Amino acid sequence: MRLFSHAKVNLFLKITGRRPDGFHNLETLFASISVKESLELKEIPQGIEILCNDPSVPTDSRNLIWKAAEALADAAGIKKGIRIRLEKQVPPGSGLGAGSSNAAAALIGLNQLWDAGLSKEELRNIAAGIGSDVPFFLEGGLCVATGRGEILSPVSGVPDLWMVLVRPDVSVSTPWAYKTFDSLTSIPKKGSLSDLTNVLDQSPEIIAAHLVNDLEEAVLPAYAEIRQARDDLLQAGAFGALMSGSGSSVFGIVRDQAHAEQIAVSLKNRYPWVHTARISQGAVEIE
């Protein structure tokens, strides 16, 4: 069985409070994007084996695919094994949720391949136990998320929005980004989520004027490379640019595919990882 798992960006991310469990309550707008990775699943008699083309990705129990396979097998009382060949496109620590999306794809794929029979609700619960943004990848498209990021409400009418993604050669630790945010004494006032969701059917220029990510306040002062990437996207002609999640990737909203390709070409020799992308309808595809 072969699946594709799509990455995401956060078009909006506001931190609304700290929680007793150590996490933060969020108000975010997730969008799955066309950048995708491939997973090949093959049943084996027992155990979990992960093979990956990127040597910087752990292939043991630290990998979210491993956690997904283990949690699904436990929940459904499955005794079978699995070998997963993972073809990465997105470096770890990019803020594009690629590892979480791999986990969601593994849940959907293994539920079918192992004939585990878990309901969507059961898969959602397992997903939330693996990571805050894993439940989003079971849905994909455009979703408002609250709570830790696991309470989802899909937004209908996914716009055909193009972007350029740039990843400077740094990785940001997500726990560090949230901790640093907590130590800030003041956060500049920004627009609300409804300001953005109300204009999603309008032009890319208008959408781009309403992007928000509170975590930029914590991350950009410590990572000049990420601020520079945002400035470079704007300089190259993007209508608006924002760090995704806790970084280190930055996306710039552009007019259309041709505009995206033109900007990507102009940035390719300055950054190790530059991609064009559009919002995708779903996050997991079974081939």
Query: Which residue minimizes CB distance to ligand C5P?
Result: 132
Smallest gap from Cβ 28 to ligand C5P, in A, equals: 9
Selection from 224, 182, 241, 277 nearest residue 11 by Cα: 241
Q: In terms of CB distance, is 26 or 219 closer to ligand C5P?
A: 26
Q: In terms of CB distance, is 144 or 254 closer to ligand C5P?
A: 144
Q: How many CB atoms lie within 10 A of CB 61?
A: 11
- The one catalytic residue in 8, 14, 36, 67 is 8
Smallest gap from Cβ 100 to ligand C5P, in A, equals: 7
What residues make contact with ligand C5P under the rule CB under 6 A?
23-24, 26, 131-133, 148-149, 174-175, 178
Q: In terms of CB distance, is 133 or 216 closer to ligand C5P?
A: 133
Mark whether 133 is an active-site residue.
Answer: yes
Q: In terms of CB distance, is 91 or 149 closer to ligand C5P?
A: 149
- The one catalytic residue in 14, 36, 67, 133 is 133
Smallest gap from Cβ 168 to ligand C5P, in A, equals: 20
Helix (H, G, I), strand (E, B) or coil at 127: helix
Mark whether 67 is an active-site residue.
Answer: no
Residue recorded with tokens 């707008």 = 29
CA angle 194, 251, 34 (to 5 degrees): 90
Smallest gap from Cβ 93 to ligand C5P, in A, equals: 12
For residues 158 and 279, what is the distance between their CA atoms, to the nearest angstrom?
A: 7
C-alpha torsion angle, residues 85, 2, 95, 70 (rounded to 10)? -60
For residues 142 and 128, what is the distance between their CA atoms, to the nearest angstrom?
A: 18
